[in-house]
């Protein structure tokens, strides 16, 4: 099913959430993640799940394997990430074809790492099958998917509330810099925006206002899904926020610093911090922003606490209620 169809079918004003997973490296990792996913699917009922793609196609086989588990075995609406640089066009074609064969209807169209051709062009070292002739930016992949598959896929694209940090313009990490390109991706046929993780809600609010007020009108109806990182540990938080260039506001740093020697307390404070971020966003309802995306890092506990305490878990489907009512003997008592 397409994510946008599922969003549109939700009752007015209802919130939803999605969970992101990356493919484990080993068979044991796959077995563990499969059972965790099954538990989480039943207990939390996410609207959809995301499966990441290693830059340059480094995890292609394993990403497709995990996507198959999610979509086919667990019946979860799955969104497959796909990057387009430093990868042959053949691999892009194979991934899209494979996704379609699995019944996957959702792709997060990404650039991935900066194209190698920038580095190698002058030295004439560009690999033969390098796709950079076709794909330089994420928008090229959005156009390509639309050209090859029409409306079959629901396409998401990445957005950066604090600006994208890139080697091509390291000095300009500013959402205003990315804005024309985000407009371009939207106008090329993107169906939803999913954001980089952030902790700075003021920066996020400003970003959303900038989109809403943009003269192109490109963002008036497209769903935007803010990305959130449950805090698993002090070290992981610092590492991931550095990688993603997400600023951690001083008050959050202070609350975590106060307990940093105690992993359990860090987790508890982290759950509180994330729940406050969700509540902040919920308190500013927007017709285009009703969902929350969680970067789970394949872990279960923190995100489970957050979605529970923020009342994001939907009621079971009516069918399940019927099943309880129709339990044999239930009406005889």
Minimum Å distance from CB 228 to ligand FAD? 11
Cα–Cα distance measured from residue 40 to residue 44, given in angstroms and rounded to the nearest whole number: 5
Of the two residues 84 and 256, which places its CB atom closer to ligand FAD in the complex? 84
178 near ligand FAD (CB under 6 A): yes
* Closer Cβ to ligand FAD, 180 or 316, answer by number: 180
Report if residue 81 touches ligand FAD, rule: CB under 6 A: yes
Q: Does 24 bind ligand FAD (CB under 6 A)?
A: no
Binding residue (CB under 6 A) for ligand FAD from 94, 166, 200, 308: 166
| Largest CA-CA distance found in the chain, in angstroms, rounded | 82
Question: With respect to ligand FAD, which residue has the nearer C-beta, 138 or 231?
Answer: 138
Helix residue ranges per DSSP H, the chain: 3-9, 27-44, 60-68, 89-102, 117-120, 138-149, 175-187, 201-212, 234-244, 250-257, 263-282, 301-309, 318-325
Interaction of residue 92 with ligand FAD, rule CB under 6 A: no
**What residues numbered 129-148 form the site for ligand FAD, per CB under 6 A?**
137-138
Q: Does 196 bind ligand FAD (CB under 6 A)?
A: yes
Cα separation, 260 vs 73, whole angstroms: 39
The answer to whether 53 contacts ligand FAD (rule: CB under 6 A) is yes
Does 110 engage in binding with ligand FAD (CB under 6 A)? Answer: yes
CA quadruple 90, 92, 97, 99: dihedral sign: positive
Task: Compute the chain's Rg from CA coordinates.
Answer: 21
| Interface with ligand FAD, residue 91, by CB under 6 A | no
Measured from the CB of residue 70, what is the shortest distance to ligand FAD in angstroms?
Answer: 14
φ/ψ of 308, rounded to 5, equals: -70, -50
Residues 146-165 binding ligand FAD (CB under 6 A) are 158, 164
Enter the DSSP assignment of 129: T
Q: Which of 302, 245, 299 is nearest to 277 (CA)?
A: 302
Stretch that binds ligand FAD, among 48-56, 70-78, 95-103, 257-265 (CB under 6 A): 48-56
| Structure tokens given for 262 | 């105690």
For 120-124, which contacts have Cβ atoms below 8 Å and span 24 or more sequence positions? none
Task: Decide if residue 17 touches ligand FAD (CB under 6 A).
Answer: no
Which residues, other chains included, contact 263 with Cβ-Cβ below 8 Å and sequence gap of 6+?
Answer: 233, 234
Q: How many residues bind ligand FAD (CB under 6 A)?
A: 21
Q: Cα angle vertex 36, ends 35, 38, to 5°? A: 65
20, 68, 162, 184: the active-site residue: 20
Q: Give me the least distance between CB of 169 and ligand FAD, in Å please.
A: 6
Question: Cβ of residue 304: shortest distance to ligand FAD, in angstroms?
Answer: 21
> Tokens 């990792």 label which residue?
29
- Contact assessment for residue 299 and residue 233, using Cβ atoms and an 8 Å cutoff: no
Q: Which stretch binds ligand FAD (CB under 6 A): 9-17, 177-185, 233-241, 256-264?
A: 177-185
Pairwise CA distance, residues 3 & 153, whole Å: 10
Q: Is 20 a catalytic residue?
A: yes
Quick check: 62 binds ligand FAD (CB under 6 A)? no
**Catalytically annotated residues:** 20
Which residues here bind ligand FAD, judged by CB under 6 A?
52-53, 55, 81, 83, 108, 110-112, 137-138, 158, 164, 166, 177-178, 181, 185, 194, 196, 227
């Amino acid at each position: 099913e397409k994510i946008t169809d599922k969003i549109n079918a939700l009752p007015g004003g209802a919130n939803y959430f999605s969970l992101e997973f990356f493919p484990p490296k080993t068979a044991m990792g796959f077995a563990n993640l499969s059972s965790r996913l099954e538990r989480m699917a039943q207990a939390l009922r996410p609207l959809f799940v995301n499966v990441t793609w290693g830059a340059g196609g480094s995890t292609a086989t394993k990403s497709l394997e995990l996507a198959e588990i999610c979509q086919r075995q667990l019946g979860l609406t799955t969104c497959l990430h796909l990057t387009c640089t430093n990868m042959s066009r053949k691999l892009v074609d194979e991934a899209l074809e494979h996704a379609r064969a699995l019944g996957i209807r959702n792709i997060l169209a990404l650039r991935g790492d900066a194209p190698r051709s920038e580095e190698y062009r002058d030295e004439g070292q560009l690999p033969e099958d390098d796709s950079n002739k076709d794909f330089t930016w994420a928008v090229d992949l959005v156009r390509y998917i639309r050209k090859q598959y029409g409306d079959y896929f629901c396409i998401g694209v990445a957005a950066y509330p604090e600006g994208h940090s890139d080697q091509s313009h390291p000095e300009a990490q500013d959402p205003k810099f990315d804005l024309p390109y985000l407009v371009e991706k939207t106008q090329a046929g993107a169906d939803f925006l999913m954001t980089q993780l952030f902790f700075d809600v003021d920066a996020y609010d400003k970003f959303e206002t900038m989109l809403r007020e943009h003269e192109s009108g490109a963002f008036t109806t497209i769903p935007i899904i803010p990305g959130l990182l449950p805090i698993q540990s002090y070290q992981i938080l610092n590492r991931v926020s550095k990688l993603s260039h997400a600023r951690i506001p001083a008050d959050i740093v202070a609350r975590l610093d106060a307990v940093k020697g105690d992993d359990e307390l860090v987790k508890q404070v982290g759950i509180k911090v994330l729940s406050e971020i969700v509540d902040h966003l919920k308190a500013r309802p927007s017709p285009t922003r009703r969902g929350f995306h969680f970067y789970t890092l394949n872990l279960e506990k923190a995100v489970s606490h957050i979605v529970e305490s923020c009342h994001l878990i939907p009621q079971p489907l009516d069918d399940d209620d019927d099943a309880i009512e129709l339990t044999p003997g239930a009406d005889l008592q």
